[in-house]
Chains A and B, each alone.
Chain A
Amino acid sequence: DAGVTQSPTHLIKTRGQQVTLRCSPKSGHDTVSWYQQALGQGPQFIFQYYEEEERQRGNFPDRFSGHQFPNYSSELNVNALLLGDSALYLCASSQGLRETQYFGPGTRLLVL
């Protein structure tokens, strides 16, 4: 039973570029949430997807957008990258909006 998977594991971009991160949820899970974790901080909620719709959003600018596909996988897109976007991006899946969330290994993004 595969857990949550994310790709790529690491990514280096320059300021102003765009990036797409991908997440496949744990088998049987239909809800995907995305978090940003800066160095030395706890994860911060970006948004949550269920039934291919964004259900809740944290305090992140519109440069951060997402999508959920019919197979429940999800993408996180960040436009016009800033140096401050450098972080570990974590995807978590759950069986429903309110159930226990299980995290993937994350994607480390470095913006130069």
Chain B
Amino acid sequence: RKEVEQDPGPFNVPEGATVAFNCTYSNSASQSFFWYRQDCRKEPKLLMSVYSSGNEDGRFTAQLNRASQYISLLIRDSKLSDSATYLCVVKGGSGNTGKLIFGQGTTLQVKP
């Protein structure tokens, strides 16, 4: 079983749509959670950290459910520029200092 699991998609949505991505993680001792965005042939860039209380950054909302070991990302009013791969990332746990554990990534294609 992978440590972080995501549906690879692709998700094809029209501009203006709301889209949600989910991921699950296996290590209950994980301490930090993130969503990274990766454009084609580019490096991953931090989109947002994820907290149990939920956090919002403009059109993006992230949520963590520790009991279910489940992380989500909601994108509202999708833009063409949101087309990218979204990587669910987990960090921390026993004996783990700074290792980032990535999911496979979910591909989003926003169409006009």
Contact = CB atoms under 8 A, between A and B. Distances in A.
B100 A105 contact: no
A106 B43 contact: yes
A103 interface: yes
13 contacts: A31-B98, A33-B98, A33-B100, A40-B8, A41-B105, A45-B101, A48-B98, A55-B97, A56-B97, A97-B98, A98-B32, A98-B98, A105-B43
B43 A48 contact: no
Given A42-B87, A42-B102, A42-B104, A97 B97 contact: yes
Nearest to A57: B99
A98 B101 contact: no
A35 interface: yes
Interface of B: 4, 8, 32, 42-46, 87, 91-92, 96-105
A45 B104 contact: no
Contacts of A94: 98
Contacts of B96: 56
